[in-house]
Amino acid sequence: MSAKLALPRRVVVTGIGVVSAVGVGKDAYFSALLAGVSGVRTIQRIDTTGFAVTIGAEVDGFEPERYMEKKAARRMDRYAQFGVAAAVMAREDAAFPADFDPYSVGAFVGSGIGGLDTFYEQTKVLLERGPDRVNPFFIPMMIPNMAAAHVSITLGLKGPVSATCTACAASTHALGDAFHIIRRGDAVAMFAGGAEAPIGHIGVPAFAAMRALSTRNDEPRRASRPFDRGRDGFVIGEGAAVLMLEEREHALARGARIYAEFLGYGMTGDAFHLSEPDASGVPAGTALRKAIDMAGVEPEELDYINAHGTSTPLGDAMETRAVRYALGDAADRVMVSSTKSMFGHCLGAAGALEAAAAVLTIVEGKVPPTINLEDPDPQCDLDYVPNVMRTADVRYAASNSFGFGGHNATIVFGRHEE
């Protein structure tokens, strides 16, 4: 890399890796989204007898040994396995060279919870079998920075390596922080995204106790219904996504395929409540406005927003107000869809999964729908691309994420201009 490159440096997306309930790998994932495929079903991995909620969006048929050594996989919680798999796929997709300077490449992988089921299982071991039977790998399996650590170890990354733990905004914050690391010249490339695996013995009943989850146990595929009048909570999901972010000149010099350019990032806090959003939408809308301002995009130029759209009564109405606050009259022409209607709410991994969808929307010129939108809520009055995907020229796309505690983050991608 030349030391004479102007700052801030331009950042592009050159690789995408995805693990989700609707598909593993970016192609299977995005094809399922465009087809409106739901990954929600009755939970299979654990016995949910007596649970108030028995549905979730589980990753089916995941084989960690395809992406990492079997011994290493045994020392990871499921969430970290997802994160490593997504990073390995992103590297392969980017055709990133094997002879890179390890100190010039890093990883920033967020998680809202980390190894929650490992925590449950080892607490059970402690109570039933005694303290001397607790797994010595319990702590490094459970803590939420370990997806980033394992990505670093697996791929040999010695540059900036870090993790965010900001609830459902964690991976959007990870992407934004990685973006700034490259912009200021501290790395030429970053593996950035998020991973989560909360569908387990404690995660499901804990979120159900908050009354955050949909209770449509008898119709799983119709349970996640963002912006619909009948929405009653989110559907818990699991998965991971990692984007290969790269300094533009570095990517061009090696002849990389460039999916899109990372143009803007905005973040704010609600300063309001532990779990409820500020209903006015002003703090969340300010994050969106900051992102488009950094991107140099006028409100009327924004073509698509991948919404946070969780299918909660308060959240979806707030996000609608946020978009209107940020875009003004231009809100009436922007396409908005919630892909959580298909793969559920993957908590700390949600933002990265949705960022991947936003990038692929620019590349493919096809916008995934919001499925199960059958009876629109009058409070939610934007163009949510209901039920059927749409072909459209998407030059600029944004992705919103809002986390418990009032963490708001938005990122903006644009078509790469030579």
Give the H/E segment covering residue 398: strand 396-403
380 is catalytic: no
Residue 345 annotated in active site = yes
DSSP string covering 162-206: E----GGGHHHHHHHHHHHHHHTTS-SEEEEEEEE---STTHHHH
Handedness of CA 30, 33, 34, 40 (dihedral sign): positive
- Write the DSSP symbol of residue 86: H
Question: Please, which residues have CB within 8 angstroms of residue 197's CB and are 6 or more apart in sequence?
Answer: 77, 78, 79, 82, 115, 116, 117, 238
- Name the active-site residue from 150, 173, 345, 407: 345
* Active-site annotation holds for 308: yes
> Own/partner pairs for 330-333, CB < 8 Å, 24+ apart?
330/298, 330/299, 330/300, 330/302, 331/299, 331/382, 332/382, 332/383, 333/300, 333/383
* From 168, 173, 250, 416, the catalytic residue: 168
Six token digits for residue 372: 């199960």
Contact 121, 233 (CB under 8 A): no
Distance of alpha carbon 29 from alpha carbon 37, whole angstroms: 10
Selected catalytic residue, list 150, 250, 308, 407: 308
| φ/ψ of residue 156, rounded to 5 | 75, 40
Residue in 242, 189, 263 with CA at minimum distance from that of residue 417: 263
Q: Pick the closest to residue 237 from 34, 55, 35 (CA basis).
A: 55
CA distance 403 to 170: 8
| Nearest residue to 400 (alpha-carbon basis) of 367, 353, 344 | 353
DSSP type of residue 72: H
As annotated, the active-site residues are 168, 308, 345
